[in-house]
Amino acid sequence: MQESSLKIPILPAELITEILLKLPVKSLLQFRCASKSWLSLISTPEFIKAHLSMSANNKDYTHHRLIFVQHDYNVELKGRICTYLKDCTLSNVLDDSVIGAFDLDYPMKNPHKSVEIVGSVNGLICPTIEQEDLFLWNPSIRKFKKLPDFTAKLRLGYCIMYGIGYDEVHDDYKLVCVFRNSSYNISHYVEVNVYSLNSDSWTSINDFHSGEQLIRWGMFMNGKLHWASSTSHDFHSYCGWDISYIDLAHGKWGKMDTPCYGEGDFEFLPCLGVLGSDLSVFCNSRKTYTDVWVMKEYGVKESWTDVYHQLYC
């Protein structure tokens, strides 16, 4: 009797790539050991960018996760407040489920020191510990990098506003830190520093309008970091504001038109965001109304659209 042998089917390279692109990062890390050809494929910049794009545009949010900070009152440490990072899937949040939230065992973890997430882009997280140490951290592949010291010029009475984004022109991730006098005299900015992951170094940018203050963290889209900005001295309400942005490829600051509210003075707390693929503004006027505006066509003032309006009696 003739001995039969089983042959493993050889799939076309294009089909293998298509299958691997649909897998989660955890599986890809394991499959790198399957063969040298798979390791080579999964490690290429083209595959990494394609996988990132597919994951980001996944409509059922199976590859999306939320990371947040939890503050605990620790009795054993004499009532000291300890901070931890937790995460959960976005699908659990949309389903009103909190069961999936669990502690993150992040590399720079220290419950005795406060941790804050100051930005994220393309799955790359930027945490700061005690406003002293900055890190770039990729939780998917469990790698992190401590950034070179940036606090040498930080003195008592100053605070920092952050923003992180991707410079597609130079294929580089960049972090922007704006040092500002935290007193009510906001006419002087200390310095604007930009960190480049490619060069692992900081550079200074000096063309920022010194009379303005940035509000909250920078929102990244279209190759730029955007902040709501104002010259108001009232840190709780802003009447008259702009959108300031920095082009990460060229390191230049600019202005963008805000939504048109019509006539009259409006005092509210503006909050920039990204809704889908559009720049958005959340406006909460004190116990009067709430608006959500979306810029349907980037850079075109007339494309600002009021997609949500709630008037309070």
Q: How confident is the model at residue 87 (pLDDT cuts 50, 70, 90)?
A: confident
Model pLDDT for residues 18-50, shown as the tens digit of each residue: 888 888 888 888 888 888 888 888 888 888 888
Amino acid at 305: T
Residue 54: pLDDT over 90: no
24-30, long-range: CB within 8 Å, 24+ apart, which pairs? Answer: 24/62, 24/63, 25/51, 25/140, 25/141, 26/140, 29/141
Sign of the CA dihedral running 29, 33, 34, 38: positive
Tens of pLDDT, residues 274-287: 887 899 988 777 66
Q: What token pair was written down for 96?
A: 């009103």
Return d(Cα 259, Cα 308) in angstroms, integer: 13
Shared-domain flag, residues 86 and 48:
no
Question: Residue 209 corresponds to which tokens in the numbers above?
Answer: 């309008």
End of a domain among 101, 128, 147? 147
Q: Are residues 27 and 71 in the same domain?
A: no
- How does strand 189-196 pair with strand 115-121? unpaired
Maximum C-alpha span of the chain: 95
Residue 251 lies in a domain: no
Position 222 pLDDT exceeds 90:
yes
**Joined tokens for residue 218:** 């920078």
Residue 124's closest CA among 182, 205, 56? Answer: 56
Instruction: Please classify residue 96 by burial: count the beta carbons closer than 10 Å to its beta carbon, then call 0-12 exposed, 13-18 middle and 19+ buried.
Output: exposed
**Percent of the chain surpassing pLDDT 90:** 19
Whether residue 39 lies inside any domain: the answer is yes
Judge if 84 and 142 occupy the same domain.
yes
Token pair for 51: 């996988």
171, pLDDT greater than 60: yes
Considering the domain boundaries, does residue 165 fall inside one?
A: no
Residue 103 CB neighbours (<10 A): 11
Whether the predicted pLDDT of 60 surpasses 60: yes
Same domain, yes or no: 141 and 71: yes
Instruction: Please tell me whether residues 116 and 137 are part of one structural domain.
Output: yes
Domain count, the chain: 2
Residue range(s) defining the domain that contains residue 125: 64-147
Report helix angle 13-21 to 45-56, nearest 10: 50
Residue 263 within a domain: no
| pTM (two decimals) | 0.79
Instruction: Give the per-residue pLDDT at 263.
Output: 47
Same domain, 68 and 52: no
In this structure, the answer to whether residues 115 and 71 fall within a common structural domain is yes
Would you give the distance in Å from CA 69 to the centre of its chain?
A: 15
**Average predicted confidence (pLDDT) for the chain:** 78
In the chain, which residue ranges form alpha helices assigned H by DSSP? Answer: 13-21, 25-31, 36-43, 45-56, 90-94
Task: Determine which helix (DSSP H) or strand (DSSP E) holds 135, and give its type and residue range.
Answer: strand 133-138
* Assigned domain for 96 exists: yes
User: What is the CB-side half-sphere exposure of residue 114 using CA atoms within 13 A?
Assistant: 9
Please indicate, yes or no, whether residues 86 and 20 belong to a single structural domain of this protein.
no
Is residue 196 assigned to a domain? no
59-68, 79-88, 91-100, 193-202: segment of lowest average pLDDT? 91-100
What is the distance between the alpha carbons of residues 258 and 277, in angstroms, rounded to a whole number? 17
Q: Domain for residue 106, yes or no? A: yes
The residue among 147, 163, 194 that closes a domain is 147
| Structural contact between residues 136 and 126, judged by C-beta atoms closer than 8 angstroms | yes
Give yes or no for residue 237 having a pLDDT over 60: no
Residue 12 vs residue 184, higher pLDDT: 12
Residue where a domain terminates, one of 113, 147, 181: 147
pLDDT of residue 1: 45
Whether 111 and 40 map to the same domain: the answer is no
d(CA 231, CA 215): 11
- Asked if 198 and 184 count as a contact pair (C-beta separation under 8 A), the reply is no
pLDDT tier for residue 312 given thresholds of 50, 70 and 90: low
Q: Give the CA distances from residue 228 to residues 7, 78, 236, 249, 272, in Å, rounded to whole numbers and listed in that order.
A: 62, 40, 13, 20, 6
The answer to whether position 187 is within a domain reads no
